[in-house]
Structure 1
Amino acid sequence: MDSFVKDKLEEWGLMEWANSFQENFIDKEIFVLLEMETLKELIPPLGPRMKAAKKIKELNSEQNETTVVTQDSQAYQSTLQSPTFSLQSPKSLITTSTPEHSNTPKRPKLHFDIRKILNDNNGGDIIESEMDEGLLSHKYRIQAVRMFVSHLIEQFGDRPTSHVKEALARSIVNEFPKLKGEDGDGYINLDFEVIKPKCGDKLFLLWTPAVARNLLHYADKQNDWSRHLGIVQDSSQLSDDEVCNIALQCIPCILPVGSQKIKGKGKRATIEDALTSFVDLQKIGTNIPHYLEGVKQKQPFVLAIGSSRVSPEQTYIIIEREAIPQESLLNAIDLCFKCFHVFDMNYQWQSYNTWQFLQTVVYNLPGKMSSSVVSLKTYLKVGRK
């Protein structure tokens, strides 16, 4: 590998993705002319790929040499985001438009015929009716996402660009304006479905009241978890939804809390730290804009507004000091988990084991499991004796 290329990859923290593909990095000139399709193959996670694209673009702009490239390559150079695609099928449900007079290549504007996509699939008429009302249920939301993802893959391959997915989300909202509140959610769910196929609805399918009650029985043997959650009523008297809420928030209380080193000194989180970094409970009447101004946590987390963790009045995803409202705590935790993977972010160190439990046990994604996670997984699998 060219020493210049190696130095740059190490500087950007991208060596682990490049080590298996050294033959593609032949020399400095080829490195700075990499197209996005190659980059996507080398670096699948979205976050590091965008970081590499930005760095390569900056590096390329510093070169004082003239290169002859195709029009498609020029489009890559200008955006470093969108691979070429074909729209020649007569059955295409997409229309494009570009300026008639332009000296610089621009990505075409995309528009999807959302109603035709739905009507071409079984059950799409029911989904279309619900979307018209703006009351898309979780069951049909999952089906709708699958329909749209299947269409994207059919038209653009198994890795549609963010430009294409944004166009789809925009088309959905334009066609069904009552769904505007779900624009961000739909984008994240679509992205997650593409990078982690068949995992999008795992939490909703597997987090049943029976599993939740079993987890609480396990927790009773570990510590006084109800004190940390501020629960005073008997869990046997709670409804199924309330049991599912409490069991999820109980996880940070029974798994080991995280630790990290700061300036050579170890720091260990408390159970309250782990719990708050996972789901932060605030009182009814909390001023959300004022709350967001004081957020220091960089990673996404869940904000619950209410008098108790049993049944919050409102739930939000907090990411980049923005609050995305959710219809339930389960939805909020699900979307928060997906944000980590779509944006390629690390879990909070305080509640790392909690998210690792959800990753490996609930969503069944690869990952290292601590002995405590293995123990809990085994118990839930075997069930109460």
Structure 2
Amino acid sequence: MEGSPSAVKAPLSETAKEMVKNALLRKSGGEDILEEYKSENSLKHRTRSHLVNILASDMTERHGRIPTHKQREKYVLGIIKRFPALKDPFSPKGYVNQDFNLLFGAETSSKLLNKWDTTFKLKIIKEATQLTQSTDPCRLLKAAERQPESNGMLSYSKRTKISPTDAAERMVLFHKSCSSIDERLKEREGKQPFILAVGRTCNKIDTYYVAVDKQLIPCHATSSLSAFDELFKCHYVFNLSYDESLVHLYMFVQTTVFNIDVTSTEESLCVRELRAKILNDNV
């Protein structure tokens, strides 16, 4: 009915937009952020970091130390609406890590990079050596054991069915730097994100991208682990589903490494069993 509260209620996007503006006006330096965007139609990297810090502080003050997922999403929506030039996920101005930080906090965001070498890597390799050793797992395991700390990529051969190698190729695609990236992207079907590693050879990677729907997001990554970190985070920042063939891998990373929605996510038995083995293994 006209004049009823539901008829005049502002859309969520507008309330989120005003929420972000008001939060900035309440905090020191927030008005400078609004003025910089108004004059430049963009924000410097340092300014964007300050923006995220201000809004994360405001969100904690208003909703407590652990805001709900919907509350976090409202802040992200408010940023997109208040600063529309920053919303393009396929622009070099995209900052996947900062958006993920706003959703889950800096401590959660840093878990993969901080804990992989010290907590997970050796235990997962140990677990893999106890599996039935077909050709594909052997090749991947040997590559993982000798993979260098920086710009090393694995070389995979194509198969006609989903195997460990095919699953890896759905996650990482190598592109030789002297050939056309556009043509390479056209060869890839599906909309799920993947890593495009560009270099002279598979073992000499110069640049990493996360490819989403045939568009490229430049990674800040300097290693394959960092690139995977950004690949995983893109699913949350852009609200994307996991690739069906990689869902167990991503579920493991989500719940066991990042500890996101552990109690509310429907995991497979194999993921729960692997988590128990990894976290209870003192090696």
Tell me what 1:317 maps to.
Answer: 210
1:344 aligns with 2:239: yes
Tell me what 2:257 maps to.
Answer: 362
Closer/same/farther in 2, CA of residues 169 and 206 from structure 1, 3 Å limit: farther
CA distance in 2, matches of 1:168, 1:94: 13
Tell me what 1:235 maps to.
Answer: 145
Stretches of structure 1 lacking an aligned partner (at least 5 in a row): 1-28, 30-66, 97-109, 115-127, 133-140, 172-180, 251-266
Which whole-Å deviations, capped at 9, do the CAs of 1:351-383 have from their partners, x for residues lacking one? 111111111111112223333323432333233
**Cα pair 2:30 2:54 within 8 Å, conserved:** no
Tell me what 1:150 maps to.
Answer: 56
Q: Pairwise CA RMSD of aligned residues?
A: 4.3
Number of residue-to-residue matches in the alignment: 247
1:164 aligns with 2:79: yes
1:111 aligns with 2:34: yes
Closer/same/farther in 2, CA of residues 215 and 285 from structure 1, 3 Å limit: farther
Deviation at 1:319, TM superposition (A): 0.6
Closer/same/farther in 2, CA of residues 368 and 69 from structure 1, 3 Å limit: closer
Closer/same/farther in 2, CA of residues 239 and 373 from structure 1, 3 Å limit: same
3-state SS of paired residue (1:312):
strand
Deviation at 1:112, TM superposition (A): 5.9
- Match runs of 1:222-371 below 5 Å: 222=131, 223=133, 224=135, 225-228=137-140, 231=143, 235=145, 238-241=147-150, 269-306=162-199, 307-308=201-202, 312-326=205-219, 327-328=221-222, 329-365=224-260, 366=262, 367-371=265-269
Tell me what 1:3 maps to.
Answer: none
Counterpart of 2:97 in structure 1: which amino acid? N
CA distance in 1, matches of 2:138, 2:232: 24
CA distance in 2, matches of 1:155, 1:73: 28
Closer/same/farther in 2, CA of residues 216 and 353 from structure 1, 3 Å limit: same
Q: Which has the larger radius of gyration?
A: 1
Counterpart of 1:312 in structure 2: which amino acid? I
Deviation at 1:169, TM superposition (A): 8.8
Q: Which has the higher contact order (CA 8 A, sep 6+)?
A: 2
Counterpart of 2:22 in structure 1: which amino acid? L
Deviation at 1:348, TM superposition (A): 0.4
Deviation at 1:196, TM superposition (A): 2.8
Stretches of structure 2 lacking an aligned partner (at least 5 in a row): 38-43, 64-70
1:203 to 112, 115, 124: 112
CA distance in 2, matches of 1:213, 1:239: 14
Closer/same/farther in 2, CA of residues 218 and 229 from structure 1, 3 Å limit: closer
Using structure 2 for the length normalisation, give the TM-score: 0.67
Deviation at 1:325, TM superposition (A): 1.9
CA distance in 1, matches of 2:225, 2:51: 18
3-state SS of paired residue (1:111):
helix
Deviation at 1:315, TM superposition (A): 1.4
Which whole-Å deviations, capped at 9, do the CAs of 1:266-304 have from their partners, x for residues lacking one? x97232321111222334434211112233221111122
Closer/same/farther in 2, CA of residues 95 and 342 from structure 1, 3 Å limit: same
CA distance in 2, matches of 1:379, 1:286: 44
1:81 aligns with 2:13: yes
Closer/same/farther in 2, CA of residues 337 and 316 from structure 1, 3 Å limit: same
Tell me what 2:68 maps to.
Answer: none
Using structure 1 for the length normalisation, give the TM-score: 0.51
Deviates further, 370-379 or 161-170: 161-170
CA distance in 2, matches of 1:226, 1:145: 47
CA distance in 1, matches of 2:9, 2:55: 28
CA distance in 1, matches of 2:151, 2:186: 30
CA distance in 1, matches of 2:252, 2:109: 16
Closer/same/farther in 2, CA of residues 279 and 305 from structure 1, 3 Å limit: same
**Cα pair 1:209 1:241 within 8 Å, conserved:** no
**Cα pair 2:175 2:184 within 8 Å, conserved:** no
1:379 aligns with 2:277: yes
Closer/same/farther in 2, CA of residues 312 and 144 from structure 1, 3 Å limit: farther
3-state SS of paired residue (1:218):
helix
CA distance in 1, matches of 2:269, 2:27: 53
3-state SS of paired residue (2:109):
coil
3-state SS of paired residue (2:249):
helix
